[in-house]
Chain A
Amino acid sequence: MDLPIVWFWVVAFLWTGFFVLEGFDFGVGMLHKVVGRTDTEQRVAINTIGPFWDGNEVWLVVGGAAIFAAFPGWYATWFSALYLAVVLLLVALMARGVSFEFRGKVEAARWRRTWSWSLTIGSALCPLLLGIALGNLLAGLPIGADEEFTGSVADIVTGYGLLVGVTMLALSVLHGATFLVLRTDGLIRARAHRVASVALWPTAVLLAAFAVWTPSISDAPALRGIGPPVAALVAVLAAAALLRAHRDGWSFAATAVGTALTVVSVFTNLYPNVLVSSTDAANNLTVTGTASGQYALQVMTIVAAFLVPVVLLYQGWSYVVFRRRVTGPPTTVPPDPTPGPSAPLDEGALT
């Protein structure tokens, strides 16, 4: 078995998993002030991802570490080339990360507003910057024969990278909205539903542009190159229909598939490169050129083969544990006093 090729697809799997999972966390972070007008409503939105966001973020950490372990040259060039963008990304991740814990700790309105903004802006910058970083792998950066970045800060904002960044941002909003539709009820769910219905169309347009631009800059054969982006667009269009039909679970699944296929598209078009050189194709960083030695890959394969299914098991289980819709404390006495599954919030009573 050609382990470098296996590990290229493991890396693709980890980054895909990250955007599918943390994508809706970013979306909820961006939307919590939109679907929640009162502090309680905003907290309901945040609490839908409360148990999950930290574990989802680890997919990024492992995704980066996997590249370090399996393709050290890729890790080294990518992160040193995008230096200032990565600094900004880290600030966004930090701002977002502490907001979850800090926001609820003080009762004051100004405190909560500050951390809400920190959460919103952080959640927007992350998918944007990560998308730009991913897109740049395919668009190419100035790289010399020694695998080093030879460009300046201006070179790290490529047109295609920007498209992927904005597309991931839009997908995160949409995916976060369908998640909220699935995990809340009453007024918040209704608002999330409206957001999703509206967000669908710009997302679809962006995905159409993505489906055209991506294969045009890659050398990938047609099926591998065009198939996934087109399928992503189809998934998002399917989400539109499923939302209309109020199939909450299926519309979330559709946006998840759309997000996954978008990320996969970058990788299917990238292979066998890992980081394209915009100055000379001979300087492309490739799977075979940057791969670690056979022994290291064997060790990593055994470790991953054992641990990834275990992680999927207990992370999956945590979603089952917290599958109930988050409703928050009622603001009026529910009309039906008999105990049972939580009664829906009386929409008319909430302003």
Chain B
Amino acid sequence: MSELDLARLQFASTSIYHFLFVPITIGLAFLVAILHTMWFRSGNADHRRLTKFFGTLLLINVAVGVVTGLVQEFQFGMNWSSYSRFVGDVFGAPLAMEGLAAFFLESTFIGLWVFGWRVLPPRVHLLSAWLVALGAAGSAAFIMAANSWMQHPVGYEIDESTGRPQLTDIGAVMTNPVFLWGYLHVILAAAVTGTFVMLAVSAWYLRRNQHVELFTRSAKLSLAVLLPAILLNLGVGSHLGVIEATYQPMKISAAEAQWTDCGPCSFSAFQIGGGENDQDPQKIIAIPHLLSILATGTWSGDVQGMNELNAQYQEEFGPGNYVPNVFVQYWSMRVMAYLGSLAALLALWGAFVWWRKKLPTARVFLWVATWAAAAPLVMNTAGWMLTENGRQPWIVQGLMKTAEGVSPSVSSTEIVVSLVIFYGVFLLLGAVNVFLMLRYARRGLELEPDEPDEPVDDGQPRVPVLTF
């Protein structure tokens, strides 16, 4: 494999891996803040127990989320030095803001929340929980702004002396339609992910008839957030597709394996073939007009074919192949969208069971809900593969090819070494994370019995419980 392939493999692997944990963090942080608010307002011990229980699951997850994120911060410079040199003027700013505005907030207040149980005034302790959620959600904003600039560069001018883009309008960068809709899509996906985790854990207990009252509460909370989140996100994701068809038509056409211009366009729900060497696939299920609707929002809208777009780009940018990997595009889009639809059905099912007041005993639903926690992880990964693979061969659409962004001074041997090391460490951390999450999810309520409602006053000096 070339340096380019290895560098791409590494960045894709570390990003996907990091993004397994991030949505859980963002989603659960939000849900834990809600639970903490419910406790603050009700004084009900059940709410406190749930806050601490799901809070601990959140913290185990945050540990791996944070450390895998460190790799990302440095990797731009390590493997993509030419890219960093080229775009730093524009791309570096959102990253620096991410740290200053979001990471500091999240990291400082998570320490305050974890250690502040008996130390902070209750109102301040509650505020800490919300600031953690805000910090987590905020960090996603800045990185999405940066990534969206790669998809659709705005707010810059090319500096004549260096040939590099220079930032001229930060407002344009932060109002990039790809950013606004992409960020909304990611945040809703994070909410879906967090609620699926909470629902899965709750369902596990309900199936065993343990702590029924406690986990019925959390099951209801997760459904209450999940249902609007997933339904909204299906719509937001759909609109993001229209936006991207405007600015990155090749990405959308490739996702549909649409080789030739069409209008109206049918949506290929399932087909065999249709990749690079086979432009005449066997379409098993094709839904008329649906692609026109998804890509343009109109009944008979035109969608440009990849062949036409490729010819267009060759005229504009010079010879080359501007078509991304069609197999990856086609199937990542469908995996994401089909799973998303199933997730919506699950949410509706859960809402129905809740409405019939049968939530604690709905055996089949609870069984499905326990295992469904894996679905958002697959959806999120598929979504990122869709958007990043669809950007190829560009690292910045229209400005720099991925091949031009690689670090010239880093050899393949070095990248193989780092790949092996990162894979090894990530696998180990992931295994320990899963082990601890499952262990705590199963036994957490017994492992850490909740504190008594009233502090015991036996004349002994008050000594803080050791948190770590």
Residues of A within 8 A of B (CB): 40, 43-44, 46-47, 50-55, 57-58, 61-62, 64-66, 68-73, 75-81, 83-84, 86-87, 90-91, 93-95, 97-98, 100-106, 147-150, 153, 292-293, 295-296, 299-300, 303-304, 307-308, 311, 314-315, 318, 321-322, 324, 326-330, 334, 337-343
CB proximity of A67 to chain B, nearest CB, Å: 8
Whether A54 contacts B88 in the complex (CB less than 8 A), given A102-B436, A328-B463, A329-B466, comes out as no
Contact B71 A90 (CB under 8 A): yes
Whether A104 contacts B93 in the complex (CB less than 8 A), given A54-B111, A83-B410, A296-B166, comes out as no
**Hey, which chain A residues are within 8 Å of B89, CB to CB?**
72, 292-293, 296
Whether A342 contacts B463 in the complex (CB less than 8 A), given A103-B468, A149-B409, comes out as yes
CB proximity of B460 to chain A, nearest CB, Å: 7
Whether A62 contacts B99 in the complex (CB less than 8 A), given A84-B414, A293-B166, comes out as yes
**Hey, which chain A residues are within 8 Å of B167, CB to CB?**
292-293, 295-296, 299
With beta carbons under 8 angstroms apart, the residue of B95, B101, B463 that contacts A327 is: B463
Most buried by A among B71, B100, B114, B432: B100
The 6 closest A-B pairs by CB, nearest first: A72-B88, A79-B77, A69-B92, A51-B111, A62-B99, A101-B63
Contact A94 B461 (CB under 8 A): no
Contact A303 B100 (CB under 8 A): yes
Q: How far is the CA of A81 from the CA of B104 in the complex (A)?
A: 28
Contact B409 A52 (CB under 8 A): no
Q: How far is the CA of A328 from the CA of B211 in the complex (A)?
A: 32
Q: Does B462 contact A (CB under 8 A)?
A: yes
**Hey, which chain B residues are within 8 Å of A314, CB to CB?**
105, 108-109
Whether A44 contacts B466 in the complex (CB less than 8 A), given A105-B60, A295-B167, A341-B461, comes out as yes
Whether A97 contacts B67 in the complex (CB less than 8 A), given A69-B96, A79-B77, A86-B74, comes out as yes
Q: Does B327 contact A (CB under 8 A)?
A: no
**Hey, which chain A residues are within 8 Å of B85, CB to CB?**
72-73, 76-77, 147
CB proximity of A305 to chain B, nearest CB, Å: 11
**Hey, which chain B residues are within 8 Å of A315, CB to CB?**
104, 108
Main secondary structure of the interface of B (DSSP, over half): helix
Q: Which stretch of B115-123, B226-234, B293-301 is in the interface?
A: B115-123
Q: Which stretch of B38-46, B283-291, B335-343, B417-425 is in the interface?
A: B417-425
With beta carbons under 8 angstroms apart, the residue of B63, B93, B112 that contacts A318 is: B112
**Hey, which chain B residues are within 8 Å of A292, CB to CB?**
88-89, 92, 166-167
When C-beta atoms are compared, the residue in chain A nearest to B409 turns out to be: A149
CB proximity of B147 to chain A, nearest CB, Å: 15
Contact B96 A87 (CB under 8 A): no
Chain B, range 417-460, C-beta contacts under 8 Å to A: 417-418, 421-422, 425, 429, 432, 436, 439-440, 457, 459-460
Contact B67 A321 (CB under 8 A): no
Contact A102 B432 (CB under 8 A): yes
Contact A72 B92 (CB under 8 A): yes
When C-beta atoms are compared, the residue in chain A nearest to B169 turns out to be: A295
Q: Does B365 contact A (CB under 8 A)?
A: no
A-B contact pairs, 16 of them (CB 8 A): A47-B115, A51-B111, A53-B111, A55-B104, A55-B108, A62-B103, A65-B95, A68-B96, A83-B414, A293-B166, A303-B101, A307-B100, A311-B104, A311-B108, A337-B459, A342-B461
**Hey, which chain A residues are within 8 Å of B112, CB to CB?**
51, 318, 321
Contact A327 B115 (CB under 8 A): no
Q: How far is the CA of A81 from the CA of B409 in the complex (A)?
A: 7
CB proximity of B173 to chain A, nearest CB, Å: 10
**Hey, which chain A residues are within 8 Å of B466, CB to CB?**
40, 43-44, 47, 104, 326, 328-329
Most buried by B among A58, A321, A341: A58
Contact B73 A64 (CB under 8 A): yes
Contact A339 B462 (CB under 8 A): yes
**Hey, which chain B residues are within 8 Å of A322, CB to CB?**
115, 119
Interface size range on B against A:
35 or more
**Hey, which chain B residues are within 8 Å of A308, CB to CB?**
100
Chain B, range 385-438, C-beta contacts under 8 Å to A: 407-410, 414, 417-418, 421-422, 425, 429, 432, 436
Q: How far is the CA of A51 from the CA of B119 in the complex (A)?
A: 12
**Hey, which chain B residues are within 8 Å of A105, CB to CB?**
60, 436, 439-440
When C-beta atoms are compared, the residue in chain A nearest to B466 turns out to be: A43
**Hey, which chain B residues are within 8 Å of A53, CB to CB?**
111
CB proximity of A302 to chain B, nearest CB, Å: 10
Contact A61 B103 (CB under 8 A): yes
CB proximity of B157 to chain A, nearest CB, Å: 9
When C-beta atoms are compared, the residue in chain A nearest to B429 turns out to be: A98
When C-beta atoms are compared, the residue in chain A nearest to B424 turns out to be: A91
Q: How far is the CA of A73 from the CA of B164 in the complex (A)?
A: 12
CB proximity of B56 to chain A, nearest CB, Å: 9
Contact B78 A86 (CB under 8 A): yes
Contact A43 B468 (CB under 8 A): yes
Whether A68 contacts B414 in the complex (CB less than 8 A), given A307-B100, A321-B120, A327-B464, comes out as no
Whether A342 contacts B462 in the complex (CB less than 8 A), given A90-B74, A300-B96, comes out as yes
Q: Does B76 contact A (CB under 8 A)?
A: yes
Q: Does B159 contact A (CB under 8 A)?
A: yes
When C-beta atoms are compared, the residue in chain B nearest to A84 turns out to be: B414
Q: Does B370 contact A (CB under 8 A)?
A: no
Whether A100 contacts B468 in the complex (CB less than 8 A), given A61-B73, A75-B77, A84-B418, comes out as yes
**Hey, which chain A residues are within 8 Å of B120, CB to CB?**
321
Contact A65 B432 (CB under 8 A): no
With beta carbons under 8 angstroms apart, the residue of B104, B110, B410, B467 that contacts A47 is: B467
Q: Does B244 contact A (CB under 8 A)?
A: no
Q: Does B321 contact A (CB under 8 A)?
A: no
With beta carbons under 8 angstroms apart, the residue of A51, A75, A95, A341 that contacts B84 is: A75
Contact A87 B418 (CB under 8 A): yes
**Hey, which chain B residues are within 8 Å of A58, CB to CB?**
99, 103-104, 107-108
Q: How far is the CA of A87 from the CA of B432 in the complex (A)?
A: 21
Q: Does B90 contact A (CB under 8 A)?
A: yes
Contact A76 B111 (CB under 8 A): no
Chain B, range 134-185, C-beta contacts under 8 Å to A: 159, 166-168, 170
CB proximity of B132 to chain A, nearest CB, Å: 11
Contact B84 A68 (CB under 8 A): yes
Apart from A69-B93, A80-B79, A303-B100, 4 more pairs, CB < 8 Å:
A47-B468, A104-B468, A296-B89, A338-B459
